[in-house]
Amino acid sequence: MSNNTQPDNALDIAPPEDGLPEDYSQGFRTQGNVRRVVVDRQGCIGARSCAIVSGLAFQMDEENLAYVPEGTVDQADEETLKLGAQSCPVLAIHLYDKEGKKVFPES
C-alpha cells in the first residue's frame, strides 16, 4: 500500500534532497520540524516496531510492510514520530524538514 499522493498542504514542502526510494509510502505534516515522513518499503523487514511505538504514523499492510496511513501522520506528536522512526532496525523510515533536508537517519 503506497501512499504517494501529495495533499495541498505539501506543495510548500521541498522534495527530499537525496530523492525517494523506488517503492515508498509517505505522509506530510503541517507543523513542527519534521514535515515529510517516508517509509522505504523495499527496505522494510516487517519488524513492526514503528507501528507499536507510533501507531498513528505507521501501520502494517497485508504484506507485513510498514506504510504511512493517509491523513494520520499529522496527528502524531513529533517526538513519538521520531521514536517510531528510530525504532526501525533497518532504518527504513526517513524524516525530512520543510526544505527537504534529512532529519533522520543522519547521512
Q: What is the pTM of this model?
A: 0.88
- For residue 81, pLDDT beyond 90: yes
Residue 51's pLDDT band, with cuts at 50, 70 and 90, is very high
Percent of all residues in the chain with a pLDDT value above 90, rounded to a whole number: 74
Give me the pLDDT at residue 23, please.
92
**Of 15 and 86, which is predicted with more confidence?**
86
Average pLDDT over residues 30-53: 96
| Residue 55 CB contacts under 8 Å (≥ 6 apart), including other chains | none
Give me the pLDDT at residue 14, please.
87
> What CA–CA distances, in Å, run from 48 to 9, 10, 52, 67, 100?
28, 27, 6, 11, 26
Rg of the Cα trace of the chain?
A: 12
